[in-house]
């Protein structure tokens, strides 16, 4: 029997890896779960919703720690785990510091690594920072690559990864989305959802905004806020902005967008509440990778406030529009979307059909790992 360890540390990783945990449980395949708690509070919300209990909790979150401090802490703590227990395979996800450092620690101990959401690239190591370099490093370490799309697979082939080590799976975030929508449709609710239902005027068009990327700190976020303010004046909409906890985001957003009648600055939402709100939105303005993948399944267009994206499939399919942080571009594309329902076509989601986790688990079952 293979000894499998899944490891993640942030909310987005937890959402996407939860689907694999559920698929392993469904197939009655034992595994252990390690969390670094790179994002403590937001991670715990996801663990509770998906009923996941970690076997190892490194609790690495520290106030104002640098990426280097976090990296060294994860490496050191993973060494202790691998000294106590031998695993045949470690699954990591995406592009976080957790993923890269766990993969490196496993490599140092001679343990095979499988990379979920492998092969995404901008080939600009500063955009997104530090994610782009993280995923390239993790890709070099990994023995197996679960690519969400054919383009991601081609990126890996271009980097001389053997085709036999790559499986195109779709993205597990779609699995998690469908699971969550089903729970909501079957009566799931919570305090966040009930409060939003009372607070927001859903008879109007809803513009949902998120932002957290490090490369946009400073002038980038200021420009996005200027655009949002102008949109609030020009359109009869409700703008809902769950504001990321990072002070580099909060300080700018609250300074520029507080006390505007149709702009609702709220605390970050737990995952099911955010899915509930996404489904009620007419437009999303965001720099999130996960939202670019989820929104097409809800037929909601996304304006991507980044200069580059590793998710070109959505751009090509006209599910998303890359607008950067140029206020004029954001304002103009918002006008087009709000005034023309045909401006963006989200009929087919290029990121998957909800069976990615099953594809991954079957690969693990059927291959000598």
Determine which one of 40, 214, 329, 335 is catalytic: 214
Determine which one of 244, 279, 318, 335 is catalytic: 244
CA distance 94 to 117: 5
Catalytic (active site) residue 117:
yes
Q: Among residues 144, 139, 119, which one has the least CA distance to residue 4?
A: 144
To the nearest 10 degrees (0 to 180), the angle between helices 191-199 and 271-279 is 30
> Number of C-alpha atoms within 13 angstroms, CB side, residue 310?
30
CB 26 within 8 A of CB 40: no
Tokens describing residue 111 = 């343990």
Determine which one of 117, 132, 238, 293 is catalytic: 117
Determine which one of 39, 73, 121, 212 is catalytic: 212
CA distance 231 to 94: 33
CB 116 within 8 A of CB 17: yes
Q: Among residues 138, 168, 135, which one has the least CA distance to residue 150?
A: 168
User: Any idea which residue has 């790179």 for tokens?
Assistant: 38
Catalytic (active site) residue 95:
yes
Q: Among residues 60, 134, 74, which one has the least CA distance to residue 105?
A: 74
Catalytic (active site) residue 131:
yes
CA distance 123 to 158: 12
State phi, psi for 267 to the nearest 5 degrees: -70, 155
CA distance 262 to 278: 17
Tokens describing residue 369 = 């790992």
Catalytic (active site) residue 244:
yes
Determine which one of 11, 39, 93, 95 is catalytic: 95
Count of other CB atoms within 10 angstroms of residue 342? 8
Determine which one of 131, 175, 215, 294 is catalytic: 131
**Catalytic residue numbers?**
95, 117, 131, 212, 214, 244
């Amino acid at each position: 029997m293979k000894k499998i360890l899944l490891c993640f540390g942030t909310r987005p990783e937890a959402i996407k890896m939860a689907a694999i945990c559920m698929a392993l449980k469904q197939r009655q395949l034992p595994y252990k779960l390690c969390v670094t708690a790179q994002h403590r509070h937001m991670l715990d919300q996801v663990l509770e919703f998906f009923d996941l209990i970690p076997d190892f909790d490194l609790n690495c979150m520290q106030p104002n720690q640098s990426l280097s401090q976090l990296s060294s802490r994860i490496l050191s703590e993973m060494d202790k785990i691998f000294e106590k227990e031998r695993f045949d395979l470690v699954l990591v996800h995406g592009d976080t510091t957790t993923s890269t450092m766990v993969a490196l620690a496993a490599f140092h101990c001679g343990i095979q690594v499988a990379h979920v959401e492998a092969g995404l690239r901008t080939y600009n190591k500063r955009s997104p920072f530090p994610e782009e370099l993280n995923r390239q490093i993790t890709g070099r370490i990994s023995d197996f690559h679960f690519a969400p799309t054919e383009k991601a697979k081609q990126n890996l082939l271009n980097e001389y990864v053997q085709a036999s080590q790559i499986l195109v799976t779709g993205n597990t975030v779609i699995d998690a989305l469908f699971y969550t929508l089903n729970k909501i449709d079957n009566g799931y609710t919570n305090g966040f959802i009930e409060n939003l239902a009372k607070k927001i005027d859903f008879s109007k068009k809803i513009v949902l905004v998120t932002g957290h990327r490090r490369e946009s700190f400073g002038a980038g976020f200021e420009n996005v806020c200027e655009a949002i303010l102008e949109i609030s004046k020009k359109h009869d909409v409700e703008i809902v902005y769950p504001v990321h906890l990072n002070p580099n985001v909060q300080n700018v957003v609250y300074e520029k967008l507080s006390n505007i009648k149709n702009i609702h600055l709220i605390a970050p939402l737990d995952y099911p509440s955010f899915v509930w709100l996404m489904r009620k939105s007419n437009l999303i303005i965001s720099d999130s990778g996960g939202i670019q993948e989820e929104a097409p399944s809800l037929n909601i267009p996304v304006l991507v406030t980044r200069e580059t994206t590793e998710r070109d499939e959505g751009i090509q399919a006209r599910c998303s529009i890359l607008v950067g942080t140029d206020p004029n571009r954001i304002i103009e594309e918002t006008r087009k979307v709000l005034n023309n329902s045909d401006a963006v076509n989200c009929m087919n989601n290029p990121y998957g059909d909800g069976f990615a986790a099953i594809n991954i688990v079957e690969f693990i079952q059927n291959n000598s790992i």
